[in-house]
Amino acid sequence: MKIAVLGGDGYCGWATALYLSKKGHEVAIVDNFVRRLWDHELGAQTLTPIRPLSDRLSAWHRLTGLTIESYVGDITDYEFLSTVIKNFEPEAVVHFAEQRSAPYSMIDRGHAVFTQVNNVVGTLNLLFALRELQPDCHLIKLGTMGEYGTPNIDIEEGYIAIEHNGRKDVLPFPKQPGSFYHLSKVHDSHNIMFACKIWGLRATDLNQGVVYGTITDEVALDEALINRFDYDEVFGTVLNRFCVEAVVGHPLTVYGKGGQRRGFLDIRDTVRCIEIACQNPAARHECRVYNQFTESFSIMDIAGIVQAAAKKINLAVEISHLPDPRVEAEDHYYNAKHSKLIDLGLQPHLLSDAMLDSLLKVAVKYRDRIDTSLILPSVNWRNARNNYRERAKSSPSAKPSASQMKKVGVSSD
């Protein structure tokens, strides 16, 4: 197939692009490198050193003989995006090209506005471009389990059967998003459902849990292909943060009671889920929703797992409870269905000692790059005007300049 991966220079996008290329698909990466710019804005960097995209793609071609095309630009620019769709003519579009951090969206008004404009407008542009230029293309959109929140009922996969006053219907599952970022994903979902209904587009909305791991078979081929390992309070995931804290002797930072329960999955399952969606496209007029995770853990569960894994390599790890900077239930019911991808052939990689060893080894290997000042939370949901250090005083622009894109595209971050 011809598959365009929007946001293909990012964490999930990079692993997905390599995986699909190795499977024999013709792949194009579309990216504006703004994720690299956010590292510069926040004074943070991924723990693993990431090469420029051009270097990464050259290494991929050298190692495998396979070529991945690249288009550099912003999908909020409709002229750019429509040119990509027209020239590449994708049969499937995998859409990762969004601002994905809840804390980033909660820094202040500027970051909240940027997140929603960037995410919603980019997705709207894509829907219009597909309608006008490639109406049979299958849109595979990365959503988030965070759209649902933590209701006191079982979470279905996208839709729920309702009986009210003697009448029945199947409706979108109620959404209780927890940040301006999660709200942007809800808006995306509604726009995609609407576009499928009125224009006959086909879409799969993958509500993904928290992803962990840096290694896929493709990424493991060479150091030049290494993936991101974000551990800072804004873009870092909890498992990454705990592994870094374990290595440097910092207590594991559990927010509140730590009873918050979320879905998790291995990066190897992320790329497989994308492949499954590509191989089993939605029908015209259909917007289907899959919950994309394999296991659920509370934050205290994760802390205990990391503590036990660290002990095996002679690291003494303590657990510390901090005031929760987020507005969320710290102890709640959580039972989310996630059977549809398994029914289509997903064979999950469950969180194992081997995976934890791998994550801890990455943290040990790049220990000199760890900045412990990035660990403690400073973005508070209750403060609409967070002073996120001196590094993020200015609000982000909705679109990086050509010189900014060139800078982060040709030099290491």
Neighbours of 31 (CB within 10 A): 27
Residue 372: closest CA among 169, 236, 170, 267? 236
Q: Please, what's the largest Cα pairwise distance for the chain?
A: 64
Q: Exposure of 376 by Cβ count < 10 A (0-12 exposed, 13-18 middle, 19+ buried)?
A: exposed
216 domain residue, yes or no: yes
Quote the mean pLDDT of the chain. Answer: 94
Told to judge if 181 belongs to the known catalytic residues of this protein, a careful annotator would answer: yes
* Catalytic hit among 16, 185, 294, 340: 185
Residue 203: closest CA among 135, 293, 273? 135
Number of structural domains (the chain) is 1
Told to judge if 185 belongs to the known catalytic residues of this protein, a careful annotator would answer: yes
Is residue 69 within 8 A of residue 28, CB to CB? The reply is: yes
Q: Exposure of 384 by Cβ count < 10 A (0-12 exposed, 13-18 middle, 19+ buried)?
A: exposed
Q: How many helices (H) and strands (E) does the chain have?
A: 14, 14
229 domain residue, yes or no: yes
Tell me the average pLDDT across 185-193.
98
pLDDT score at 389: 60
Say if residue 391's pLDDT is above 50: no
**Strand ordering across the sheet containing 210-212:** 210-212, 261-266, 295-298
389 domain residue, yes or no: no
* Catalytic hit among 123, 144, 204, 253: 144
Residue 307: closest CA among 295, 294, 320? 320
As a three-state string, the secondary structure of 216-267 is CCCHHHCHHHCCCCCCCCCCCCHHHHHHHHHHHCCCEEEECCCECEEEEEEH
388 domain residue, yes or no: no
399 domain residue, yes or no: no
Is residue 18 within 8 A of residue 218, CB to CB? The reply is: yes
Residues 6+ apart with CB under 8 A from 384: 108, 109
Tell me the average pLDDT across 82-105.
98
pLDDT score at 387: 66
Q: Over the stretch 113-137, which tens digit does the pLDDT of each residue have? A: 999 999 999 999 999 999 999 999 9
pLDDT score at 235: 98
328 domain residue, yes or no: yes
Task: Specify the pTM.
Answer: 0.95
395 domain residue, yes or no: no
Residue 247: closest CA among 313, 199, 291? 313
Say if residue 412's pLDDT is above 50: no
What CATH number does residue 74 fall under? 3.40.50.720
Say if residue 404's pLDDT is above 70: no
Q: Cα separation of 93 and 53, whole Å? A: 20
* Catalytic hit among 11, 104, 148, 181: 181
Q: Over the stretch 245-271, which tens digit does the pLDDT of each residue have? A: 999 999 999 999 999 999 999 999 999
Q: What range defines the domain where residue 207 resides?
A: 2-379
81 domain residue, yes or no: yes
Provide Rg for the chain, Cα atoms: 20
Q: Over the stretch 309-359, which tens digit does the pLDDT of each residue have? A: 999 999 999 999 999 999 999 999 999 999 999 999 999 999 999 999 999
Is residue 128 within 8 A of residue 135, CB to CB? The reply is: no
